[in-house]
Structure 1
């Protein structure tokens, strides 16, 4: 018995000599795993040491590395070890590298691309690192022009994506268009330079976040918003793309009135969106785009943007091109190149030296002015000068255009941004409000300004004379366009009363229980409800639309080219591989002309030295088989 006990003691003592302790301590990180828009893992993770590669079996050589994080995430994973000690993550969570390498797993540490220096299994995390793995998606980050302000202040946001390589194959951040920036209940969509702005309308500690399809949502950016000093008038305008419901709910004697339910109106039009993102025929889809641009409905807006990126207007009238251009610019999309179509060129091509489109109509001239004045054309260009002259020549003696409330409201909006000597109607956003001079002030007394001032005042009088006792102008569409004309006059629609009724009272009386405008025809309900939502944004069409500059000649020649795709997507361009088969051609980050369609493009090889990394050597090995 003593011998048995002694033997056991020897065995236990012998095993004790091999104390399986690890050389490294566990590390706490944040692990994020995204495949396209699918979140496979997003949260904190404590990583314990493991073997960096299969040939390491001694626990004393175990380290805390990226391979451990993957294996301990609970997701299925498969590695390739053809270039040990560097490992290749071939499959994660069921998503596998495609045979042509157009889709593969990439990793980022604190939003810095990792593959440029070490393989994932060779990355040793530090405490509180963020380890991000992406498959067919890209990192996104946002920044703000300021991190605090008061209600009424403007915050400019910038969105960037990490999807492009420089000459040395270091991944760099580039501006991201069509990203949705959400700040509390407000939002805006970035344009081609990656920026958009929001006028603060809510106080408190707010978080802004950026998002876009096939991109990892950004980290929050905190904005501290304080309440402004009390003012006699509330802030009416909001350039964020989200609506400000400033419809008066009471009158001076505190008698509560019915109000138009803007939220239900949005819910109605959203319920009418088709699977392809449209709202039916072009005319309904385009006008609804302007309405959605003033709201905070990200998923529906993204669907609509995708639709515009894949479709072209089926009609051939200049007014159809004008309407589509307005819809695109309201969403921050480039009217000079959308899905291969240059809508601005189509509009200007209809100019006959005096006017646009049909010589017997003036609506195409009015909307040409609205579009072109927001697309880089100035009031000093002959085409614009002639267009303004033609529009003014069509005004009736009673101040109207075509005896129509609708067209009179539209004409006021068109003329609001065309004055000389930096003179603006206060409601115009063509210049900073502080720099605007009243159109009727002595400093603005040019012959052209006098003519414009007279024209808009005659138009205003026509609207006044034709307002009905119910507060409206005969129908919902006319009322909505008249309201936007009033806004362009720097006046408040709620101050326009007839029989103690305002335009808001009229609209409220025409809203149905489901939020849409009352009408027996569904398509008319979509159309008219969109008109009303746009009018209730408190902005003119020009104020809703993003401004675009005329493209340069170089940009025209670079049409349809972009460098958004990372190197993995360029692998599919096998015929472009350098003769040495040891270098990958770089992508050149051309200014994107089409914000909805990204086309792969490869440029000539860089003459700058290329950094040799494990990832580069690995790709060279792959290419050597071709």
Structure 2
């Protein structure tokens, strides 16, 4: 028996030694940092970047806090990428690389940082946090928390300012450009599959919304043919949907293409959304995006603003607004909420919430006049402001409008985001940008449909019938994994460009109706299972050997 005990103890010890570091890396790290007044960091392709730079707002920057954490061993690695024209953003920390539906959100002393790692100024007593976050605003468990215990000068004195390798979004270097909608539509058509679909069901849905927005608005013959192929595909597709947001997104896609979401495809994509209403909200009570996006298809599917269910959803959205005017501290989710609440101009509570949300967006519009570091947040903000009857000129800053900046992000092939990024990411970004450039909020894109006879309107909360979302529909379509957000998602995980990121300017948290796991260097689940298997194998062997 002593032999058995020794082997079993060894197996347990091996399991603990291997698993605990893994879980630690995958979860959180916290420590104190003495922040130096200069640093040099290396990006993922080997490029070196020295700070402060000529246009840095301070000597003491968040990027140098990360460099110090790496130098002292508080974190084991960091993966930085340079976004052309904007500087560095964080892709991975401590072996955890953001998945295509995730980004490393940057927080400063408990508030969402209004600037990225290159321009975020720190002082003694500050705390910066990098939190792995989905584009739906859900924290994914991994975090790096750095407390600035002191500011230190180097022995050589302040390091000379290095030439800037990127503009960091400085408005003085930026001029707006027109956005070419026709070129963007042709880019989507060029990337369409022969059957009319795109790389994933998520991308197919967002492309459908883009084509629906462009109907009769600069859509060439080539574009019209792509629209027809996409509509034909969507009428027969049976995507695998598992959450309220999946159904909401797909219903929006169908309605944008003038396809009846109740019956024209042979499946009902509205009732599963209604079935997720629990008397107060839709879907997961810890999330608000599934409530925000529920309003768009439901209000075009025969449900009235005065229905009890709609009223309760609106109240829940209002309840989830934070004191800073945002939803989940996210530019993107706040822009989506504005679009939803703008549908209720007669509600004073909705109007007040919109005013606070606009203030949040104003605070998070940087000096270059942009929101975040890529097109995803920008597109949703453009739609949100248009839903309020505003124009891009109303949000001009440093001589550049948000629409002019969206034009800057459009490339020679008509797609949005750099051509070096994955095609899935660029398809997604372009699908978001087209409705924004056309000044069309989601509500204005969807066609109206009547509820089938026999579908009752909920007149009171007590009449609500709870039912889980059915999972009977399926198709050989790989779940989405392109990125902004969405997912950044967001197709297999390894095939997607990371686009949800903490960048040199305002961080972006793009939302999507899909979720995928992060691409971790450590597979903690696999190691845990291996440890358990080892223990049970040893136990089984010695018990039966004795028998």
Q: What's the TM-score once normalised by structure 2's chain length?
A: 0.48
Higher strand share: 1
TM-score by length of 1: 0.42
Query: Which of the two has higher C-alpha Rg?
Result: 1
Greater RCO, CA 8 A, separation 6+? 2
